[in-house]
Amino acid sequence: MTCKEAERLVIPYINDELTDEELKEFLEHTQTCSDCMEELEIYFTIEAGIMQLDSETGNYNIKGALEAALEQSRQRLQFIQLIKIARYAVSTVCVMALVITVLLQCRIWLQLGLLG
C-alpha cells in the first residue's frame, strides 16, 4: 500500500468503514510508516475531539483512544484469521470423513462380491 492510498483510508478507518482486506493493509502500512501514522493521529484527534464536544464526554485521552482502536482492529483481524483456519480445519475433516466412508463402503461391497 502506498502512502497516498493509506491517507485516503484514514477517514474510512476512523468511521469503521474499511473492508477486512483494506483494514489489514492499512494497519500494516501505518505500523511501518511514521508519516501515515502521524496523519492518522491528526485526523483521529480532530474527529475524536469533535465527537467529544458533541457528546460532552469528559474523556480527553485521545491518544489512548487511538491506541485502543488500533488494538481492537488488530484483534478483529486475528479473530477473522482464526475463523478462517477453523473453517479450513472443519472442511478438511469433512472431506477426510467422506473419503473414509467411501472406502469403507467399497470394502463392504468387495466383501459382498458386488464390486469386481
Predicted pLDDT at 8: 94
Residue ranges, the chain, pLDDT below 70: 54-60, 116
Predicted pLDDT at 63: 79
For residue 21, give its domain range.
1-87
In a domain, 94, yes or no: no
In a domain, 110, yes or no: no
Which residues lie below 8 Å from residue 77, measured CB to CB, with a gap of 6+? Answer: 20, 23, 24, 27
Distance (Å, whole) CA 101 – CA 106: 9
In a domain, 107, yes or no: no
Angle at the Cα of 97 from the Cα atoms of 95 and 99, rounded to 5 degrees: 70
In a domain, 103, yes or no: no
Q: What total number of domains does the chain contain?
A: 1
pTM of this prediction exceeds 0.85: no
In a domain, 111, yes or no: no
Predicted pLDDT at 47: 85
